Amino acid sequence: MYNAPQVVATGAAVLARDMQFAGRCRVSARVLPLVLHGKAGPTRRNVQIDHLVIAGWTGRDKAALEKHIAELEAIGVRRPATTPIFYRAAAARLTTDDSIEALGAASSGEAEFVLLRHGGALWVGTGSDHTDREVEKYGVSVSKQMCDKPIAPVFWSYDEVAPHWDKLMLRAYVSDNGARALYQEGAVTAMLDPLALIEGFAGKDGLEESTLMFCGTLAARGGVRPADIFEFELDDPVLGRKIQHQYQVRALPVLG
């Protein structure tokens, strides 16, 4: 059973340890050119991200969560000890490029909404928690570090979308040999509330500045599988806008 106080303490303790280490040693960060849409309109900035958090098993609907756990169990991934759970990965893995390289042909994407703490404000965007499924069978934490994590370069002010959060939609499409298919689709409310996820990881103080968090995914239509091209989008039908991104996966040969 999920024990919230224990997860909060663990997340806060890990982040405090990382920050203490950062004070003694230069930590690899990622600087990305982003477009931040706030009340004053879009602003282009080079944004430094120091910490990458990947929240897993964040579904509100226990039946849907169990379905996603089961589809991963079907490909050999062990079910988590607790839900939700907060994995750490190197911020250097983040990219806004339109292609990534992955070892072998056993990796696949997952559309997620992402939260970014920058400039003292909270921003929301979308990304793909691209994961090596073979390594995931060995260890989920290790698999999170194996692949680049593509994100769209556009973010919205969280304050602008919070009043109609339950209307936002996530979608993903996969393409192989020119054939495009809907891969994931559902409301962001399939996952836990963003502020609840932040508190679950970092406590009442919230995300540290320059932290980006992936916030969970939806079940895949037709099962988890690799693709040549992965597209993902966050749709805001109330304000009539979308954040969209796609990337190609280039498979590197596996030797030995």
- Tell me the per-residue pLDDT of 15-44, one tens digit each, with 9 for 90 and over: 555 545 444 445 568 999 999 999 889 999
E-strand ranges in the chain read 30-38, 41-49, 51-56, 85-89, 94-95, 99-103, 107-108, 111-118, 121-128, 131-132, 149-150, 154-157, 169-176, 179-187, 211-214, 229-236, 241-252
- Which of residues 70 and 216 earns the better pLDDT score? 216
Cα 181 to Cα 67: distance, rounded to the nearest angstrom: 20
Domains and CATH numbers, the chain: 4-252 (3.90.850.10)
Strands 30-38 and 41-49: what pairing?
A: antiparallel
The pair of three-digit structure tokens given for residue 23, joined into one six-digit string: 């004070």
- Tell me the per-residue pLDDT of 45-90, one tens digit each, with 9 for 90 and over: 999 999 999 999 998 988 878 887 887 788 788 888 788 999 999 9
- Tell me the C-alpha to C-alpha distance, in Å, between residue 64 and each of 8, 126, 217, 222: 24, 21, 11, 14
Cα 194 to Cα 180: distance, rounded to the nearest angstrom: 30
